[in-house]
Structure 1
Amino acid sequence: MSVPIGTETLEIAPGRTREIGCTGAGAVRMLKVKPLGLPDDRIKQEDILRELTISLSWDGEKKPSVWAPLGDFFATSPGLNSFKTRPMGCVDGEFYSYFYMPFSDGMRLSIGNDGDASRKLAVELETVSLDEVAASKLLRFRAAWHGDDFTGLDSERFLHKRGDRWPDWPLLVVNGRGRYVGMSQHVWKYGGWWGEGDEKFFVDGEAFPSTIGTGSEDYIGYAWAADPPFITFSSPSASISRINPDAQQDTSVCRFHLSDDVPFEKGFQGFIEVMPNRDCRPAVYDVCAYWYGDSSSSNPYSAVPLEKRRHLRPSREMQHVMPSTFEVIKPGPGMIEGENMAVVRTGSGRHWIQDMAGFADGTWSGDGQLIWTEGKLGDEIEMEFTVGESGRRELVAAFTKAADYGAFALSLDGKPLARDIDLFDEKVTTTGEIPLGAFDLTPGKHVLTAKAIGQNPKAKTGATGGYLFGLDYLRIKETKQ
């Protein structure tokens, strides 16, 4: 029997929460929410819908099964964006959900307001009665929103190419028994295409994903549509509800598994690879994931405070803003990037700043290096750096190694250092920090010189020679007294 609770207008004061609930056994089969009295300014609308939150709890549970910013829960963000799918959508400024949400001992819908002004919403909820025993056997609906949350994972395995799981970015990581039924994703970016990353689903602890896709755009359903002008679309199980014709700034997509849900008995780990083009910066990702689970598959994610869920909208110049799997390693104290050092002289060849973001090792500070190629045996590259204060200082440096890199003698201000360096390695990687010695440095300019003195017997000579040199950074350290 259908039990419409009806439409109720809720006014929610700043910092407060309003609740709607019912007792007994049943299922929510329709939920509609219409924000009222929103300002005309679209940015303000978007911010308000991140300030408002929705949560759903079943059977008296203390931690809700569902928590998300209001608009994100209904599979579109930021703001009110018109779209239609079978389970969720937004029509004429009203969000809807037709996900079937059973309970055996009551339910509670809570809407919170973390903003600084009162908000009004029209809420329509329809439930259907169920037998208590039958309802207790049904999986419970769950949903969780996050941005860059590695809950349940060893994050170091995923960060900045150092880990074996890079560039996987988590959609949902959950233990227990259940069924994954979809996700909605919001991306803010400037520059090139973002959608090359594949979806990967690991079921019940498998070492290799039983589902691995061919690109985010294929998963969402608009493959080979990565050329402007971009358009929105709706379909029964997928949608693009927000995108600009040039695909800059906000993109909002969703993908639901209606006839192809992913069952799991012990756990589920769903990922999307973060693989934007090199010029796709900045980029911000957030996601709302949906699944059904039994009592062993509760929602593992925590509610996100307002300051961490606000829409950042980084400017085009803020290219350091990226998901943590793609963040640039920032210089540490006393570090002088190789790419910031002036090259005073080279005996031969050429030098330039090389982008190292595409190499798998991924440990270059600033994602770049100063590289010297086509140098000849016996020739030198002189690199200038500046010291601010006089004193005894320790110098360390990090270099690049590869199969066609050479061996070098180093000197500082014309005085040979105590060690030579061999930059050969079978793969393109970094040396880590190498101590160069302690020196009495005066204020002003100093010159670090690298002289090509030979090759490792295993080295390979390519089109750019066999004496390549790469400097990641130089670091000036205070000496221990």
Structure 2
Amino acid sequence: AIVRWWITGRKFKGSIRIYLDDAKEPQFEMRADQLVGGDGLVGEPLSAERAGGRNLYLPIPYAKRCKVTFDRNFYETKNREDRLFYQINYRTYPPGTPVETFSRAGLEAAKDRLAAIGETLLDPDPPLPETPSVIDRRVRIEPGQAAEIGFDKPGAICELSVRLDANDPVQALRSTVLVVEFDGEQTVWCPVGDFFGSGVGVNPYKDWYRRVDQDGTMTCRWIMPFEKECKLSLRNLGNQVVEGAVSVATRDWSWDDRSMHFHANWRQQRDMKTKEPHFDWSYLTARGKGVFVGDTLALVNRSETWWGEGDEKIFVDGEAFPSHFGTGTEDYYGYAWGMPTFFDAPFHAQPRAEGPKQRGNVTNTRVRLLDAIPFSESFQFDMEVWHIAKTTVDYAAATYWYGRPGAKAATGPMPDEASQPVRYHTK
């Protein structure tokens, strides 16, 4: 099934044709900007233009095969207006999996349901279970200390909210780290601001799993199950007192051989030199069985020129060539042309983009549902660092994934980096 499209171009003159299974003629044919980012198949929020990038998140399943063509080939016409940049993400299923091939009749039958799904995606605040267990706590954390909340019976975190207050709130969001142990195994170590997709400072936005409010309240709704016990802590690695509020809601969970622990890892590298030459920078390398479900990139760009020409490369289960090979960092996050424009949507957002031009602190984030990436043995996600200018950049990446017990990331906690003063492009 095709699960995600992204395209951009200067002008959309050509048509995309989709052939499914044994069809000799295309079942769907329309102009590229009508299909992706338009209302040719479905409207917002599943299909929309955001900061120059056009996105389609309507799944297109097929039982046998799929062919997609575009009829304005730049390499034949040599007309720059015919250039179409694109990404198509698709899932494959084991042989014998029953799949109903996408059709116009099926699309029409699902019209009302798709409209309801769209409304839900735009208001992603589902009610808690009827009988959740909720712990609300005020915290005061001295430098070098931690505030802890524990659970000693099976369950799953279904909502987590944090709001921090400090003399320097921006620094507090980077130097206060969320640490979670599930069943005696530490799987989450991530600065609070990065964990919730805000990056540096409070940058209000919302996607399907997370929300950042103007008052600094940050909420996530990833389900985080545990078989026996869980310990959640906020560790203050900074040199100021941090106060705030924490709310944790849990629900019942029946742990089985398909259940996985939630992971969130973070790594930062500062003063990376660009154009000497381009290089791949690791977001995450993990061993074990799991599912990759999203990431956040918070960076500092010291030049007014574009920082994000680099492509993502994702290797699953030790493959020699990446099964995901992108077209540019902003393309991966669903926008285009380096636009420093705020946007938020159910599955991707740019909560922070300063300027002038592309200079400053930037936060890009993406979460995955149908385009989540399962792996059986290993997972490697690299992002190429490719800047137009010869300068230096700082990258900090948070990655979110599920893993069976024993799955581990290659990079461990980085307390020395999280405790460093937050940088701005003017400093």
- State whether residues 242 and 253 of structure 1, in contact with CA within 8 Å, keep that contact through their aligned partners in structure 2: yes
- State whether residues 148 and 170 of structure 1, in contact with CA within 8 Å, keep that contact through their aligned partners in structure 2: no
Distance 1:236 1:90, change over 3 A: same
Q: In structure 2, what is the Cα distance between the partners aligned to 1:84 and 1:235? A: 7
Aligned to 2:366: 255
Q: One-letter code of the match for 1:313?
A: R
Distance 1:313 1:118, change over 3 A: closer
Distance 1:268 1:222, change over 3 A: same
Displacement of 1:250 = 0.2
* Alignment equivalent of 1:91, drawn from 204, 210, 213: 213
Q: Which runs of 5+ in 1 are unaligned?
A: 150-158, 319-481
Displacement of 1:118 = 2.1
Displacement of 1:5 = 2.3
Displacement of 1:313 = 2.7
Aligned to 1:282: 392
What secondary structure does 1:115 align onto? coil
* Alignment equivalent of 1:128, drawn from 240, 251, 256: 251
The number of residue pairs the alignment matches comes to 292
What secondary structure does 1:147 align onto? strand
Trace 1:447-466 onto structure 2 (pairs within 5 A): none
Structure with the greater alpha carbon radius of gyration: 1
Q: One-letter code of the match for 1:146?
A: R
Displacement of 1:239 = 0.7
Q: One-letter code of the match for 1:190?
A: R
* Alignment equivalent of 1:167, drawn from 263, 276, 279: 279
* Alignment equivalent of 1:265, drawn from 361, 376, 392: 376
Displacement of 1:125 = 0.6
Q: In structure 1, what is the Cα distance between the partners aligned to 2:406 and 2:164? A: 34
What secondary structure does 1:65 align onto? strand
What secondary structure does 1:208 align onto? coil
Displacement of 1:73 = 1.1
> Per chain length, whose mean CA-contact separation is higher, i.e. which structure has more relative contact order (CA < 8 Å, sep 6+)?
2
Q: In structure 1, what is the Cα distance between the partners aligned to 2:306 and 2:191? A: 27
Aligned to 2:134: 5
1:218 and 2:331 matched:
yes
Aligned to 2:229: 106
Distance 1:308 1:245, change over 3 A: closer
- State whether residues 142 and 293 of structure 1, in contact with CA within 8 Å, keep that contact through their aligned partners in structure 2: yes
Aligned to 1:180: 292
Q: In structure 2, what is the Cα distance between the partners aligned to 1:143 and 1:73? A: 7
Q: In structure 1, what is the Cα distance between the partners aligned to 2:268 and 2:294? A: 16
CA displacement 1:32-84 (0-9 Å, x = unmatched) = 00113x33xxxx322122221111110122xx100011111111211111010
Distance 1:307 1:220, change over 3 A: closer
What secondary structure does 2:170 align onto? helix
Q: Which runs of 5+ in 2 are unaligned?
A: 1-128
Q: Aligned-pair RMSD on alpha carbons?
A: 2.2
Displacement of 1:111 = 0.5
What secondary structure does 1:77 align onto? coil
Displacement of 1:311 = 4.4
CA displacement 1:406-429 (0-9 Å, x = unmatched) = xxxxxxxxxxxxxxxxxxxxxxxx
Aligned to 2:143: 14
1:53 and 2:177 matched:
yes
- State whether residues 269 and 396 of structure 2, in contact with CA within 8 Å, keep that contact through their aligned partners in structure 1: yes
What secondary structure does 1:116 align onto? coil
Q: In structure 2, what is the Cα distance between the partners aligned to 1:19 and 1:48? A: 17
CA displacement 1:297-325 (0-9 Å, x = unmatched) = 12433221245652453767x9xxxxxxx
Displacement of 1:26 = 1.1
Q: One-letter code of the match for 1:101?
A: M
Percent identity reads: 32
- State whether residues 66 and 144 of structure 1, in contact with CA within 8 Å, keep that contact through their aligned partners in structure 2: yes
Q: One-letter code of the match for 1:144?
A: N
TM-score normalised by the chain length of structure 1: 0.58
Aligned to 1:202: 315
CA displacement 1:318-368 (0-9 Å, x = unmatched) = 9xxxxxxxxxxxxxxxxxxxxxxxxxxxxxxxxxxxxxxxxxxxxxxxxxx
CA displacement 1:109-152 (0-9 Å, x = unmatched) = 110112223211211111111224x3x53011101000149xxx
